[in-house]
Amino acid sequence: MQFEPTLRSNIIAAARDLNSSPAGFATFKKSFCNEKYWTLTSEGGFQLRDSVMPAEAIQDIFSNGKKYGFECATAIIIVLYKAVLDTLGETPFNRLFQNLYLHSWQADSDLGLITEDAPSEKSQPGDVLYFKNPDVNPEKMEWQGENVVKLGDDLYFGHGIGIKSGEGIIASLNKRRIENATKSAYLEDRFVYPDFYHLSQYAPADIRLYYNTKWPTPYAAVGASIGVRRYIRH
């Protein structure tokens, strides 16, 4: 298989694996983690411990899920890292992501998150999308929206909601609106995916992407980089 479909397939598999794990949903204030591998920061993020290999720490989230609780945006980053690990293997992954920090949409720049502003119908399985909830109950701001992985045609995984159709995601969010709300949750016309070309350079030669490949030209990126991390709109 070529690199992009391989990584997309692994993103879908990682999303399903996280859905099946006992990892809990928690707000940033109430997030928790296995402190054998991570340090819990004051903002509810997980900072990789100096003595721990990144691949081992990511694997632990899936094998010891009961020791973790995190928000839906953090869940998406975890899914992406797991998929890249499964695609590249442990040695390249450990070399690329030596200072992992898991929190919301903060990600190592080598993940190369790309945002495309386009109709959601153009998204593909393995892309990350966002359901916005404009009339969210202010006492439940963690439900102001749901970051999801697209698993297939009208099928999505969202941490804290599970695997549902678009209508199912919207129905779940609408239950967390203010009293007498008039605006329904909806799927934004925007989606995110990793930089397939960049990451492929660390993959086995037989699945790497090249500039003269027959695959479509990579999409234009919209985002900002600060230091070693890239920040994408939450």
pLDDT tens digits, one per residue of 35-83:
999 999 999 999 999 999 999 999 999 999 999 999 999 999 999 999 9
Q: How confident is the model at residue 100 (pLDDT cuts 50, 70, 90)?
A: very high
pLDDT band, residue 109 (cuts 50/70/90): confident
Residue 205's pLDDT is what?
85
Residue-range domain boundaries for the chain? 3-113+194-231, 120-190
Band of the pLDDT at 1, cuts 50, 70, 90?
low
Residue 87's nearest CA partner among 201, 193, 10 is 10
Q: How far apart are CA 207 and CA 97, in angstroms?
A: 21
Distant-in-sequence, close-in-space partners of 179: CB < 8 Å, separation ≥ 6: none
pTM: 0.88
Residues linked to residue 70 through DSSP beta bridges, in sequence order: 25
Q: What is the band of 222 on the pLDDT scale with cuts at 50, 70, 90?
A: very low
Average pLDDT over the chain reads 90
At 110, the pLDDT band (50, 70, 90 cuts) reads confident
The answer on pLDDT for 231 being more than 80 is: no
Query: Apex CA 11: angle with CA 223 and CA 21, to 5°?
Result: 115
Better pLDDT: 127 or 225: 127
Sign of the Cα pseudo-torsion (225, 29, 19, 52, in order): positive
Specify which residues 163 forms β-bridges with. Answer: 157
DSSP string, 141-152: GGGSEEEEEEEE
Query: Tens of pLDDT along 73-92?
Result: 999 999 999 999 999 999 99
What pLDDT was estimated at residue 215?
39
Of the chain, the percentage scoring pLDDT greater than 70 comes to 89
**pLDDT reported for residue 211:** 57
- Give pLDDT, residue 28: 95
Higher-pLDDT residue of 228, 196: 196
128 pLDDT more than 90: yes
